[in-house]
Amino acid sequence: MSNFVHTFAGNPLDRGEALRRDEETIAQLLNAPDSEFLAFHKLNVRLADPQNLAWLKRPDLPSVGETIFLGMHDQIARFAVDVADPPEDHEYTDCRAAAAQLAAEDTGIVAQARAQLDWHRRNRFCAQCGAPMIPERGGQIRRCDGCSKHIFPRTDPVAIMLIIDQPGGNRCLLGQSQGFMARTNFYSALAGFLDQGESLEEAVRREVKEEAGVEVGWVQYHSSQPWPFPSQLMMGCHGVAQSHEITIDTTEMADVRWFTREEILSALNQENEALRVPGEMAIAHHLIRAWAQGEVTL
């Protein structure tokens, strides 16, 4: 198990659960002169420079749409705002590209803000009666103006797993999904959404069986990573195979193969022209590296 803090984790804000219970307090914070705002446009983030978020005061904000309360930091309220019509000289950066250069804790703030703004965009109307939904508790919930139904931001759990051929084995299982990865030298850990009424361990075994035809026994949790595109929690695991013959689900996968530790180590060092693996931003990279460098025992 790892205590590694992934990209899009490490958010330093106090999310202010007690403050959210009082709409008047949130309104006061929204108009407080020292409150700070992080602007987004089309879910891209405004940066002060490539390494720093652009925190703005309220008078400096362009046209403001949805506003959500992110939390408190050093007794200052932090908000995210969806800017509908920014000035032409304002630049906004794709959140993946921004995260590659921001400090780890800032990527956590970006993840919270982007995921919540996107959720509000997607839930304007009540799924039960069709009436408009109204944000409350600083954007933590939306309430239906018709039937009073409450909904909360959802996070979709995803199992992502590196499977080893046997206890203490020298091979791991990597796959290539259909789409942009197909017919390239890029391979990653297998992954899939959890189903209803399914544990994480069950999801690991099911997904590997479905995608690669490989039976999995022992499953060990490693770490998790928020992934705000739109709002997922990647739950990383290692597992041990009980079978080794691969039968690919060609609807989802372009290829699945066993790779040796030597092949993986050379790929991690960018010395393998036949194999590329995910970079450090992705939890898959750390699952692969942890096994290849002997940091996990299976």
Task: Share the mean pLDDT of the chain.
Answer: 95
Residues 276 and 197 in one domain: yes
User: Which pLDDT does position 63 carry in this prediction?
Assistant: 75
Domain membership flag for residue 223: yes
User: Which pLDDT does position 82 carry in this prediction?
Assistant: 95
User: Which pLDDT does position 249 carry in this prediction?
Assistant: 95
Please, which pLDDT band fits residue 64 given cuts at 50, 70 and 90?
confident
Residue 85: domain span: 17-107
User: Which pLDDT does position 2 carry in this prediction?
Assistant: 56
In whole angstroms, what is the distance from residue 6 CA to residue 81 CA?
Answer: 25
Domain membership flag for residue 205: yes
Residues 95 and 162 in one domain: no
Residues 88 and 202 in one domain: no
Domain membership flag for residue 44: yes
User: Which pLDDT does position 85 carry in this prediction?
Assistant: 87
Lowest mean pLDDT among 85-89, 141-145, 269-273: 85-89
End-to-end CA distance of the chain: 11
With a CB cutoff of 8 Å and minimum separation 6, the contacts of 138 are: 16, 19, 20, 26, 68, 69
What domain count does the chain have? 2
Domain membership flag for residue 213: yes
Domain membership flag for residue 12: no
User: What pTM value is reported for the model?
Assistant: 0.93
Domain membership flag for residue 139: no
Do 248 and 227 contact (CB within 8 A), yes or no?
no
